[in-house]
Chains A and B, each alone.
Chain A
């Protein structure tokens, strides 16, 4: 179990995270926030790349910084952007990282073979990575995070560059992995975590806004999300009055999904809120509408 205790991070006078407290058990946690909200800072603190300015992060009661290599031996980490050597093949690259993870060569070779199959890269295991697409590189990244069979798996924007089929495969892989470990997936793509996260953590204004199940978070907007159809000519006025979540043209009219925290008007259909609705509502800073 990881506990984030009153953690803050400052860069000079700039506060990147303020007094974050979290308790994380085995299972999948979706860390959801728009870009620049402090997700990567929190992730990097969990991965020991950044030291908290205040507070501490503990794993099974021990400070992860003090645990040093003992904690990192349990860790699998996929950064948002990661480097590789152009002239290395995935096998060479993974062998290098396996050595850094303290794995024996024989075990590494066997595990790398299995992982390359898992991420559908077996056929290109000996090809130079400089010829790989973004999605293939990302899959190598996922494979390296799993090399040491980590107890704590931290993935920062893991689906960047993956096509829909690869995303689906990745989600299945995560669900399978999360049975006996702690998986934290940081993303700004709601669909990546909506179906698989046991809990979603949302960060706003450098603080934790929600840490709850998808259902409970969605319930915060229960009864406030509607859909209706309006004339195209009324769209601007509608936008000015309500928080519009989705606009879709259909047969010369506009289908609108929106939020209203008051009495419903005629013709509005109350719908079940989704996680994306909550995301768009909570991070609506740039949407200037009356609710």
Chain B
């Protein structure tokens, strides 16, 4: 235990911690901060977010036919309110815009009408005129929900088709606004990048450091001997879990500022978003992406430690890992994190990919351990 603690302490030097903070600060401001400070990103996203909360509080985590009728009724009431607003406004009345329908059909060539529209939309930002189009959009989705599933079903393979049938028979249709779901996907994708880079930065020196400093001669001639390799491996994995957990706490702490908790218990099939193989709630989906990040972090930690055992110097160590990290960020993360249960990705792809990656990284490190156990420590 004392040795394990020593090895963990050796990983977290102040230089590495500083590097970790700098790398995360850069990645945060380049890729993550936007999805927190700009959520909801302007209008009508803000209206979509607000209407979503109203729908959840009114209708719960599911919407039946009666709820949809009520939603339509609310829209109609708001149209009346808009009509009253326009009729009570002298400028609109003089410009010939007396109803919400007139407002929607404003002649863009008519400078006076266009100026009035811009005034209430952008200068005064009257909520009702932003909310109504969003409500109308949602109603369009409600009205065409069966047809949309049908369209997707037509081009589906037998497994996808079976899944669509399952959703139709359960009455699972996409009716809630997608703004929170989309924002979380963007957020978690970029958090995954930051965590992957952090893990590789922290874990890469684990074996290289002592080897390049010629410490192996001393370490391997002690009672602990080459078994130390396994302790360093354990220290690397524990540190990886520590770094991932710490970063997730920090980033989710920031994500909490988005105030999306009202959406957490809504099943993801309710959001107007891509279709999924399974029916988790948003919170369960978040947990799934977090588990995926832990898994990817551990796989990349094992790979980093394997490379750390065999590469001759730090430049080679960084060089060999750059393509792996870039390939994962460019091609892998979308499928393995954000689209982890997306129906467009064959159902077997994600579990097979994770199993394959875990198997390869574990076999690789076992091979490196066997090699280390018997190799001559010459230099």
Q: Decide if B89 is an interface residue (CB 8 Å cutoff).
A: no
Check B224 against A102 for contact (C-beta < 8 Å): yes
From B214, B220, B222, B374, name the one whose CB has the most chain A CB atoms within 10 angstroms: B222
For the side of the interface on A, what is the size category?
20 to 34
What are 10 pairs between A and B in contact, CB < 8 Å? Answer: A44-B378, A48-B220, A49-B220, A51-B374, A69-B225, A69-B227, A72-B225, A79-B214, A99-B2, A100-B219
CB-CB < 8 A to A69: which residues of B?
A: 223-225, 227
- Number of B residues near A (Cβ < 8 Å) is 25
Residues of A with C-beta under 8 A to B374 = 51
Q: Which residue of A lies closest to B3 (CB)?
A: A99
Which has the most chain B C-beta neighbours within 10 Å: A44, A49, A75, A84? A49
B window 205-227: CB within 8 A of A: 210, 213-225, 227
Does A29 touch B at the CB level, under 8 Å? no
B6 lies within 8 A of chain A by Cβ: yes
> A44 to chain B: closest CB distance in Å?
7
B6 touches A96 (CB 8 A): yes
B225 adjacent to A68 (CB under 8 Å): yes
**Pairwise interchain contact B217-A79, C-beta atoms closer than 8 A:** yes
B10 within 8 A of A: yes
User: Which residues of B are found within 8 Å of A77, using beta-carbon distances?
Assistant: 217-218, 221
Evaluate contact between B378 and A50: CB separation under 8 angstroms. Answer: yes
Output the nearest chain B residue to A96 by Cβ-Cβ distance: B6
Given contact pairs A44-B377, A83-B210, A49 touches B223 in the complex (Cβ within 8 A): no
A2 to B374, CA, bound (A): 22
Q: List 7 extra interface pairs beyond A82-B215, A148-B223, CB under 8 A.
A: A49-B220, A49-B377, A50-B377, A68-B225, A97-B222, A99-B3, A102-B224
Chain B CB within 8 A of A24 CB: no
Complex contacts, B227 vs chain A, CB 8 Å = 69
CB-contact partner of B215 in A47, A72, A83, under 8 A: A83
Q: Shortest beta-carbon distance, B224 to chain A, in Å?
A: 4
Query: Which residues of the other chain, B, contact A50 by a CB distance below 8 angstroms?
Result: 376-378
Residue of B nearest to A73 (CB): B223
Q: Determine if B13 and A87 form an interchain contact, defined as CB atoms under 8 angstroms apart.
A: yes
**A167 an interface residue at 8 Å Cβ cutoff?**
no
Q: Are the CB atoms of B224 and A81 closer together than 8 Å?
A: no
**Residue of A at shortest CB range from B227?**
A69
* Measured CA separation A76–B213 after assembly (Å): 20
Q: How many Cβ-Cβ contacts under 8 Å join chain A to chain B?
A: 76
Residue numbers in B under 8 Å from A96 (CB-CB) = 6
Let me know if B228 and A100 touch, CB within 8 A.
yes
Nearest-neighbor residue (CB-CB) of B231 within chain A? A100
Contact A99 B218 (CB under 8 A): no
- B223 with A101: CB separation less than 8 A: yes
A85 within 8 A of B: yes
Beta-carbon nearest neighbor of A103 in chain B: B223
B10 engages A85 (CB within 8 Å)? yes
* B376 proximity list for chain A (CB < 8 A): 44, 49-51
Q: How far is the CB of B12 from chain A (nearest CB, A)?
A: 12
Instruction: Pick the residue among B218, B223, B224 that contacts A79 (CB under 8 A).
Output: B218
- A100 and B223 within 8 A (CB): yes
Look across to chain B and name the residue whose beta carbon is closest to the beta carbon of A50.
B376
List the B side residues contacting A68 at CB < 8 Å. Answer: 225
The answer on a CB contact under 8 Å between B2 and A82 is: no
User: Which of B6, B13, B213, B221 is within 8 Å of A49, CB to CB?
Assistant: B221
* 0/1 string, B180-218, CB within 8 A of A gives 1: 000000000000000000000000000000100111111
A100 touches B3 (CB 8 A): yes
Given the complex of chains A and B, what is the CA–CA distance between A87 and B16 in angstroms?
14
Q: A186 in the interface, Cβ–Cβ < 8 Å?
A: no
Name the one of A72, A73, A81, A144 contacting B214, with C-beta atoms under 8 angstroms.
Answer: A81
* Cβ-neighbour of B221 out of A51, A72, A84, A99 (below 8 A): A72
Cβ of B242 to closest chain A Cβ, rounded Å: 20
Q: Which 10 A-B residue pairs are closest in the complex by CB-CB distance?
A: A83-B213, A83-B215, A100-B222, A79-B217, A102-B223, A83-B214, A49-B377, A77-B221, A100-B224, A50-B376
Q: Which residues of B contact A99 (CB under 8 A)?
A: 2-3, 6, 224
**Measured CA separation A105–B2 after assembly (Å):** 9
* Cα–Cα, bound, A201→B219 (Å): 27
B221 / chain A contacts, CB cutoff of 8 Å: 47-49, 72, 75, 77
- Cβ of A48 to closest chain B Cβ, rounded Å: 7
Query: Does the CB pair B217–A49 fall under 8 Å?
Result: yes
Measured between C-beta atoms, what is the minimum distance from A39 to chain B in Å?
A: 14
Say how far B223's CB is from chain A's closest CB, in angstroms. Answer: 4
Please determine whether B218 and A97 come into contact, CB atoms closer than 8 angstroms. yes
Task: Point out the residues of chain A lying under 8 angstroms from B217, CB to CB.
Answer: 44, 47, 49, 77, 79, 82-83
Distance (Å) between the CB of A12 and the closest chain B CB? 12
Bound together, the chains give a CA A47 to CA B377 distance in angstroms of: 10
B377 near A84 with CB under 8 A, answer no
Contacts of A101 in B (CB 8 A): 222-224
**Nearest A residue (CB) for B13:** A87
Interchain CA distance A69-B373 in the complex, whole Å: 13
Beta-carbon nearest neighbor of A44 in chain B: B377
Interface string of A14-51 (1 = CB under 8 A from B): 00000000000000000000000000000010011111
